[in-house]
Amino acid sequence: MRGASVDAQVVRYGPAGARRRRDRLAGEEPLEIRVEGLGQPAVRVAVTMRTPGADFDLAAGFLFTEGLLHAPEEIAAIKYCTDVERSEQEFNVVTVHLRRPFDATSLQRNFYATSSCGVCGKASIDQIEVTCAPLAPGPVVEPAVLLGLPELLRARQPTFERTGGLHAAGLFTATGELIELREDVGRHNALDKVIGARFGAGATPLADHLVLVSGRIGFELVQKAAVAGIPLLAAVGAPSSLAVDAARRLGVTLVGFLRDDGFNVYSYTERVAPSS
């Protein structure tokens, strides 16, 4: 398994001509997530392209936000697999061992996630609404707090500083205190890692928190936030139409185009305090 970033040789073209130099690239490798129910063989649940690191948080967060786990006490252990055919893939396969049987028939589809699009194959938002009810009212956040979040996120992205090629998700309190931050080539993986860390600590639901992600917002991020009980989801980029639709139906305040000079609120504006 490679790390969060790797060395590469490149040829840099500039005003002084071409020259060879070393560069740092964001790591990207597949992670296979397996689930082993009590007294059952392990079954493959998902394959996602991710940046190595916080893999156990990613596995727990993914299973939780997809509705396959409901409480951290269900997990007996999370381990890398040692029975893979090629030794170099040993740290790219994770098994979540449960204290209860696992109903594999609950898997309505095979999960396959890429770093660019998130989990593919959702038939409709109706499947999401089976997983969680619309969120209750959450805290009211001051606009000044939201405006300060992008800089706080950028200041805590060490691998992005080295590579320029990673997304980030940051979990904050309603007053802007950073609680968790994870980086990944996939913004949905970064969010799963953040949620998985809190889920494993028994700290969900996250009803008094908000989350900021880099890039755009797809509906799968809204789903994950809603399952974790996060009432406000913000991004520096744009939301998709399906993300806005999901946010309105699931009770999530959706904030997009969050920059230094302003932002848009697409749903549940009552969670953002009026500007003074």
pLDDT score, position 110 = 47
The CA distance from 193 to 212, in Å, is 13
What does the pLDDT profile of the chain (276 residues) look like in tens digits? 456 767 777 767 668 877 888 877 767 888 999 999 999 999 999 888 888 899 999 999 999 998 899 999 999 999 998 776 655 567 889 999 999 999 887 665 545 444 444 444 343 445 555 456 788 888 999 999 999 999 998 888 766 555 556 789 999 999 999 999 998 988 899 999 999 999 999 999 999 999 999 888 988 899 999 999 999 999 999 998 888 988 999 999 999 999 888 999 999 999 999 875
Please provide residue 86's backbone torsions phi and psi, each rounded to the nearest 5 degrees: -110, 130
117 noted as active-site residue: yes
Cβ proximity of 153 and 187 under 8 Å: no
Reply yes or no: is the peptide bond before residue 150 cis, omega within 30 of 0: no
What does pTM read for this prediction? 0.86
pLDDT score, position 118 = 45
Which is the catalytic residue, given 81, 117, 120, 132?
117
For the chain, domain boundaries: 29-131, 143-271
Round the CA-based radius of gyration of the chain to a whole number and report it. Answer: 19
pLDDT score, position 111 = 53
In the CATH hierarchy, which top-level class contains the domain 29-131? Answer: alpha beta
> Across-strand partners of 217?
239
CATH of domain 143-271: 3.40.140.10
pLDDT score, position 219 = 87
pLDDT score, position 154 = 85
pLDDT score, position 123 = 39
Nearest CA-CA partner of 6 in 26, 30, 31? 26
Phi-psi region of 121 (alpha: psi -120 to 50; beta: other; left: phi over 0): left
